[in-house]
Chain A
Amino acid sequence: MDNALWAFGRVSGIISLVLFTGTVLVGVLARSGRPLLVVPRFSVTLIHRNIALLATAFLVLHVGSLLLDSYAKLNVTDVVVPFLGAFRPFWQGLGTVAFDLVLAVVVTSLLRHRIGPRTFRAVHWFTYAMWPIALAHAIGNGTNGTSRWFLLLAAGSAAVVVGALAWRVSANFLETAKTRQGGLL
């Protein structure tokens, strides 16, 4: 059983990271106001939300299975308070920071209509910090973190996220960018 928890804890962390990468990419696309080929805009938004919730579910399983696993030596404090862990406290602490940020982003997203757009957006911006922190945690703390295949996965993920960010800050990011720029001239 212990082996199973340990193995599951590791693989669920990787799945969660891959899903969060997808969440960031679809989120950037949703922000652009563009449809995805034949997928309409409202579906892009729903896909963003659903991948995010799936990623969060795997993150909870990741933390939960390692909490119950005796080898990981994780305790309840480590789940919310970073940098106090028994094993590689710095790298494990990054995971805790990312977990806390994910919780904040998910809660504010679910309560979006109650808390209003300003708070929602301010907290949502923290995903741009969360994602690289989670990636660093995976590399620094993961048993396979420095394996060749994982580093390739990490490099590929970083490349697509950086690409999405470059697009995000580019002048023609919004679907309506050209028309709106034209209006100012």
Chain B
Amino acid sequence: MSETLHIDWTRCDGRGLCTELLPTLLDRDDWGYPLAKRATNGDRSNVAVRPAHSEAAREAVHLCPKMALSLANQVAGFGQ
């Protein structure tokens, strides 16, 4: 079962912790903000997380200084 990492842009301040923890899933734009490396239907704020990256994603959610990340079970489009 795949999970979805949601980036809440209204909270994010681009501090870069998540891009360090999930270098294969997230890119950092010029202003420091994270983006999904692969967009799904043009959406770069909901990132599919395979089980191999599940733990790192959980760390990212936990450590995000702005609490801008959340993990949901499958299907993109959900926040918390």
Contact = CB atoms under 8 A, between A and B. Distances in A.
Contacts of B67: 112-113, 116-117
Contact of A45 (B11, B13, B17): B17
A119 to B, nearest CB: 11
B63 A176 contact: no
A45 B65 contact: yes
Contacts of A175: 16, 32
Contact of B16 (A31, A41, A180): A41
Contacts of A42: 17, 20-21, 59-60, 63
A59 interface: no
Interface string B40-66: 000000000000000000011011011
Interface of B: 11, 13-17, 20-21, 30-32, 59-60, 62-63, 65-67
Contacts of B60: 42
Contact of A33 (B11, B15, B59, B63): B15
Nearest to B19: A41
Interface in A133-185: 174-176, 179-180, 183
B77 to A, nearest CB: 22
Given A175-B32, A179-B30, A180-B31, A46 B63 contact: yes
B71 to A, nearest CB: 12
13 contacts: A33-B14, A40-B20, A42-B59, A42-B60, A45-B17, A45-B63, A117-B66, A174-B32, A175-B16, A175-B32, A179-B30, A179-B32, A180-B31
A106 B79 CA distance: 27
Contacts of A183: 31
A9 B5 CA distance: 47
Given A175-B32, A180-B31, A41 B66 contact: no
A146 to B, nearest CB: 39
A175 B31 CA distance: 9
Contacts of B13: 33
Contacts of A33: 13-16, 32
